Amino acid sequence: MSEPPAILELRDLRVSLGGRRHWLRRAVPPVPAVGGVSFSVREGEILGLVGESGCGKTTLGRTVLGLQRETSGEIHLDGRLVSSAQPKRARVERNDIHYVHQDAAAALDPWWSIGRTLEEGLIIHGGRTAGERRARVREMLAAVGLDESVLPRYPHELSGGQLRRVTLARILVLQPRFIIFDEPTSGLDMSVQAMVLNLLLELRGRLGLTYLFISHDLSVVERFCDRVAIMYLGRIVELAPTGTLFAAPRHPYTRALLAAIPRLAPEPKRAGRLVQSEPPSTACLPAGCAFSNRCPHVKPACISTEPALENVLDHHVACWRWQELRSDARAA
């Protein structure tokens, strides 16, 4: 059985932020937000992108979307090269890709009603009459489980869960194939989270969508995503199918993350505590492995050379010592 085709492929993508020179202001040195990221997303799958604040996952998401221009590297959509383009052209070429922001309330213009906001995308892209637009909006409202009574309302009159559904409907009317979600469940109560996630799963099946799910919430990622990529300081350190990653994590950072999740059952301190409390600043990254200054298993080789992303049976790890650590863990 052949693998489903890759809808999105990234090759050695790098993004540096800042670094502009202005004749009136002091030059700002660029910050490497994303360094050498390569992976592909298969059609119909949900790929989770997990990392803590400052790891570059939002920058990566925006770069894939097209609003952020990459510094080097390639982005392929359906096999077509779509990188190296200004944001306006990039959005046109990648209009199969859409983005759902983290803060749903802030992502909506408070001046316009929900109905007008939902129609806006269709107005911009043209090609439909007013009646057709309204029909499409109603169709997507029903798909996300909202009642038509929200159409004349304004964003500040709706709840967090409703706003989340509105932002989802706004891009669904444009028939996307690939949706990037930036922390879609953050700030939502557990019960509302469940509703949103069930909705996303249902829509994926019904409309044949592919998701890039950016989150820092490992518990959600565990149950929602097909594959998970762990990101640390701009680099992918581990990428594997969800079950494998959570059952047998290979990278020390992944282990630390999993150990840090507050569980309902009180447990003794598990292995995987971090050495130092703070990651180094992105402006001055170490030459070798980005995690070296906090890793409990660091060796000289880790500090001098950056580990490449090795792929063994669809489980990618970027760590020099992952094999020895694995056998240690088994022996322990």
Partner 1 sequence: MSEPILEIRGLRLAIKTDEGLANVLDHIDFAVARGRILGLVGESGCGKSTIIRAIIGILPPGAEVEAGVIRFDGEDLLGLNEQELNRRIRGSRIGFIPQDPYLALNPVFKVGTQLLEIMRWHAPDEGVRRGERNRRHRTRILELLRRVQLPDPEAAWERFPHQFSGGQRQRLVIAAALASSPALVIADEPTTALDVTTQQQIIDLLRDLVGEFGLSMLFVTHDLGVVAQLCDDLCVIYAGQTVESGRTVAVLDRPRHPYTRALLACHPDRATAFTGIPGAVPSPFHAPPGCRFAPRCGKARPACAVRRPRLVDHDRTGRRVDCVLYEPAEAVGA
Partner 2 sequence: MVGIGPGLRREDKKVLAPSLSSCLITFLRRCTSVRILSKFVRDIPALIGLVIVFAAVIVAVIGPWVAPHPGDIVASHLLQRLKPPSAAFPFGTDNLGRDLLSRVILGTRGALEVAVIVVVLASVIGVPLGLIAGYASGWLSEGIMRITDVFLALPQLVLALALAQLLTPSLESAMIALALTYWPFFTRLVYAETRRLQASLFVDALRGIGAGSGLIIFFHILPNAISPVIVRGTIGMGFTILVAAVLGFLGMGATPPAPDWGLTISESRNYLPDAWWYATFPGLAILVTVLGFNLLGDGLRDLVDPRLRRSH
Q: How far is CA 93 from CA 42, 96, 123, 163, 207, in A?
A: 19, 8, 18, 28, 21
Residue 255 touching partner 2 (CB under 8 A): no
Q: Which of 111/131 has CB closer to partner 2?
A: 111
Name the one range near partner 2 by CB under 8 A: 119-127, 190-198, 214-222, 301-309.
Answer: 119-127
CB 54: neighbour CB atoms within 10 A?
A: 15
3-state secondary structure of 28: coil
Residue 109 touching partner 2 (CB under 8 A): yes
The phi and psi torsions of 201 (rounded to 5 degrees) equal: -65, -40
Total residue count of the chain as it appears in this document: 332
Q: What does 67 interact with, of partner 1, partner 2, none (CB < 5 to 8 A by kind)?
A: partner 2
Q: Is 117 left (phi over 0), alpha (psi -120 to 50) or beta?
A: alpha
Residue 87 touching partner 2 (CB under 8 A): yes
For 148-197, strand residue ranges (E) read 178-182
Is the Cβ–Cβ distance between 67 and 89 less than 8 Å?
no
Q: What does 152 interact with, of partner 1, partner 2, none (CB < 5 to 8 A by kind)?
A: partner 2
Binding site for partner 1 (CB under 8 A): 52-53, 159-160, 189-195, 197-198, 201, 216, 218-220, 222-224, 256-257, 259-266, 274, 277-278
Among the listed residues 117, 203, 104, the one whose alpha carbon sits nearest the alpha carbon of residue 158: 104
Angle ∠(42,35,209) on CA atoms, nearest 5: 20
Q: How many residues bind partner 2 (CB under 8 A)?
A: 33
Q: Which of 265/332 has CB closer to partner 1?
A: 265
Residue 28 touching partner 2 (CB under 8 A): no
Residue 91 touching partner 2 (CB under 8 A): yes
Q: What does 193 interact with, of partner 2, partner 1, none (CB < 5 to 8 A by kind)?
A: partner 1
Q: How far is the CB of 277 from partner 1 (least distance, A)?
A: 6
Residue 78 touching partner 2 (CB under 8 A): no
Is the Cβ–Cβ distance between 121 and 174 less than 8 Å?
yes
Residues that bind partner 2 (CB under 8 A): 24, 65, 67, 87-88, 91-92, 95, 98-99, 101, 103, 106-113, 120-121, 124-125, 152-154, 156-157, 167, 170-171, 174
